[in-house]
């Protein structure tokens, strides 16, 4: 309780909140995603990870601000209409080929297309941590994630033309909704949510969390083997293990390869190293890259504890 009480006055949180506008946003009020790691969405994700909640007035203002970027279907969009209209005007002034049809129609269509699963999953996770679990807007976001789940059990950007014909889900797009569901107590899952969790867990497990199931189980991306915090958007084996074990998947042989990767990375002093982080791009660095990490060590230990206790 003492540690919880100390969080708002900690140097990291203080630096983030000191950068906040009085209305509740960071950087550009019409751009919740760009610049990456410094705009409003990212701060809410960080504050949720660090243990802040809506009893803090600044955090509450921030959440009130970003809900305006949630669309009617429930997904959160990377861009605002105002931001897209500025982009249209910038292209016009630069003499570039303009998208059609009209500026307003293009902005509205693109705004709709840019509500994506990874962003909505990350924002839902953060909002639940911050205390909005029972808010109808968060429930709408979770229900939207259930509805757009792909046949293979994972998620993709559902309306983005570049992915319109994709049949294989994205790992980054999948882990974020799964993490959101992991923040909801199982007793509160709807029947549809339970089914969604089961299908998405199978998607990760059939890939051993980081291997290509149709290509002799080769590692899909070496970057997924690096341990990162904050993990925001990206995917790595520790995030996969943390989410799956929190969802209750603790006794499955297909976790073994990922657990082996994690255990090989433990240092002689029993800590784990922070291998990847966007230091220099956030409002404040949380830990040092290449040094023992309290966050990575905490997440690794709670994951191992879940597996060993069940």
Q: Give the model confidence (pLDDT) of 190-216 as tens digits.
A: 999 999 999 999 999 999 999 998 888
- Token code pair at residue 16: 């983030």
CB 183 within 8 A of CB 125: yes
Tell which residue, 301, 290, 216, 205, has the closest CA to residue 252: 205
Name beta bridge partners: 292. Answer: 273
Q: Which residues of 283-307 are buried (b: 16+ CB within 10 A; e: fewer)?
A: beebbeeeeebebbbebbeebbebb
Look up tokens 């966050």; give the residue: 295
- What pTM, to 2 d.p., does this model score? 0.95
The dihedrals phi and psi of 115, each to the nearest 5 degrees, come to -85, 115
DSSP states of the chain: -HHHHHGGGSHHHHHHHHTS-TTS--S-TT-SS-STTTSHHHHHHHHHHHT--TTSHHHHHHHHHHGGGB-TTSPBBSS-HHHHHHHHHHHHHTTPPPPSS-HHHHHHHHHHHTB-HHHHHHHHHHHHHHT-TT-HHHHHHHHHHHHT--TTSSB--SS-GGGTT--S-BHHHHHHHHHHHHTS-GGG--HHHHHHHHHHHHHHHHTTTTB-TTTTT-BS-GGGGS-BSS-TT---HHHHHHHHHHTT--S-GGGHHHHHHHHHT--TTS--B--B--TTTSSS--S-TTSB-HHHHHHHHHHHHHHHH-
Query: How many degrees, rounded to 5, is the angle at CA 63 between CA 62 and CA 67?
Result: 120
Look at residue 276 in the predicted model and tell me its pLDDT: 95
pLDDT tens for the 310 residues of the chain, in order: 898 899 999 999 999 999 999 999 999 999 999 999 999 999 999 999 999 999 999 999 999 999 999 999 999 999 999 999 999 999 989 998 888 779 999 999 999 999 999 999 999 999 999 999 999 999 999 999 999 999 999 999 999 888 878 889 999 999 999 999 999 999 999 999 999 999 999 999 999 999 998 888 999 999 999 999 998 768 999 999 999 999 999 999 999 999 999 999 999 999 999 999 999 999 999 999 999 999 999 999 999 999 998 7
Please, how many CA atoms are within 13 Å of residue 229, restricted to the half-sphere of its CB? 23
Torsion angle defined by CA atoms of residues 58, 76, 111 and 26, in that order, rounded to the nearest 10 degrees: 20
Look at residue 216 in the predicted model and tell me its pLDDT: 85
């Amino acid at each position: 309780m003492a540690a919880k009480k100390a969080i708002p006055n900690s140097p990291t949180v203080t630096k983030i909140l000191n950068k906040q506008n009085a209305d509740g946003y960071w950087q550009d009020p019409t751009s919740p995603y760009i610049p990456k790691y410094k705009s409003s969405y990212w701060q809410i994700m960080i504050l949720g990870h660090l243990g802040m909640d809506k009893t803090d007035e600044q955090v509450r203002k921030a959440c009130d601000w970003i809900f305006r970027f949630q669309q009617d279907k429930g997904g959160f969009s990377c861009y605002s209409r105002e931001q897209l209209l500025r982009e249209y005007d910038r292209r016009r002034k630069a003499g570039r080929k303009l998208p059609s049809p009209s500026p307003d129609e293009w902005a509205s269509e693109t705004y709709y297309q840019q509500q994506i699963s990874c962003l909505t999953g990350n924002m839902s996770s953060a909002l639940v941590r911050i205390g909005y679990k029972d808010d109808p807007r968060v429930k709408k976001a979770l229900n939207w994630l259930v509805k757009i789940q792909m046949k293979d059990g994972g998620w993709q950007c559902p309306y983005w033309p570049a992915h319109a014909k994709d049949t294989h889900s994205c790992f980054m797009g999948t882990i974020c909704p799964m993490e959101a569901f992991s923040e909801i107590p199982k007793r509160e899952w709807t029947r549809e949510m339970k089914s969604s969790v089961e299908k998405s867990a199978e998607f990760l497990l059939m890939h051993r969390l980081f291997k290509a199931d149709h290509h002799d189980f080769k590692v899909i991306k070496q970057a997924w083997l690096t341990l990162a915090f904050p993990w925001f958007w990206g995917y790595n084996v520790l995030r996969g293990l943390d989410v799956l074990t929190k969802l209750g998947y603790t006794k499955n042989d297909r976790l073994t390869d990922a657990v082996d990767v994690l255990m090989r990375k433990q240092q002689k002093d029993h800590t784990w190293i922070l291998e990847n982080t966007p230091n220099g791009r956030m409002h404040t660095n949380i830990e040092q890259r290449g040094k023992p990490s309290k966050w990575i060590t905490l997440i690794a230990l709670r994951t191992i504890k879940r597996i060993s206790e069940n």
